């Protein structure tokens, strides 16, 4: 499978930021048992800090994941030059394209970009505990757990 990355335009990024705030708030509420209003506040603050003026901060890249002319997903990552590390903030494969190898192709392509173009020596990411499919994928691709946060619903 051959995929390519197309950088988002400024207006596409602004739309993505708006969508991301709500999407991330849902994950925060579900994973940390927070009321939606608090999760929305936390998500808004975090995303606005990472996207001053609705644009990515230094070193951040946001791309459409493309298969030919078809967008199959989105990837947002940052190159942290001080540690020679890529950190993946968000990867999304559209639901209709999941289970077809696109996520694996994204990681393989990002590894090439990271090492060959950026000189990165590692890639990191975080995954919510309520996303076992992603956890299985990351483990299959060689990612190892670095920490585990736990909650208990009372």
Rounded CA separation 43/49 (Å): 10
Domain 4-140, CATH class in plain words: alpha beta
> 133: number of CA atoms within 13 Å, CB side?
9
Q: Which of 70, 49, 56 is nearest to 10 (CA)?
A: 56
pLDDT at 147: 87
Rounded CA separation 92/27 (Å): 14
User: Over the stretch 93-133, which tens digit does the pLDDT of each residue have?
Assistant: 999 999 999 999 999 999 999 999 999 999 999 999 889 99
Torsion of CA 13, 55, 74, 23, to 10 degrees: -80
Which residue ranges make up each domain of the chain?
4-140
pLDDT at 149: 83
Rounded CA separation 60/54 (Å): 12
pLDDT at 105: 97
Phi, psi of 152 (to 5 degrees): -135, 125
pLDDT at 134: 94
Bridge pairing between strands 122-125 and 85-93: parallel
**Positions in the chain whose pLDDT score sits under 70:** none
pLDDT at 153: 79
Rounded CA separation 28/9 (Å): 27
pLDDT at 148: 85
């Amino acid at each position: 499978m051959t995929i390519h990355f197309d950088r988002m335009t400024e207006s596409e990024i602004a739309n993505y930021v708006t969508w991301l705030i709500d999407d991330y708030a849902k994950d925060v509420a579900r994973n940390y048992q927070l009321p939606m209003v608090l999760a929305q506040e936390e998500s808004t603050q975090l995303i606005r800090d990472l996207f001053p003026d609705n644009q990515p901060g230094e070193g951040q890249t946001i791309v459409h994941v493309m298969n030919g002319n078809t967008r199959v997903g989105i990837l947002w990552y940052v190159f942290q030059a001080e540690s020679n590390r890529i950190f993946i903030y968000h990867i999304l494969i559209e639901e209709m394209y999941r289970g077809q190898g696109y996520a694996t192709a994204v990681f393989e392509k990002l590894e090439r970009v990271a090492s060959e173009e950026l000189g990165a020596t590692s890639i990191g990411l975080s995954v919510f505990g309520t996303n076992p499919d992603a956890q299985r994928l990351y483990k299959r691709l060689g990612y190892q757990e670095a920490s585990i946060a736990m909650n208990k619903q009372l």
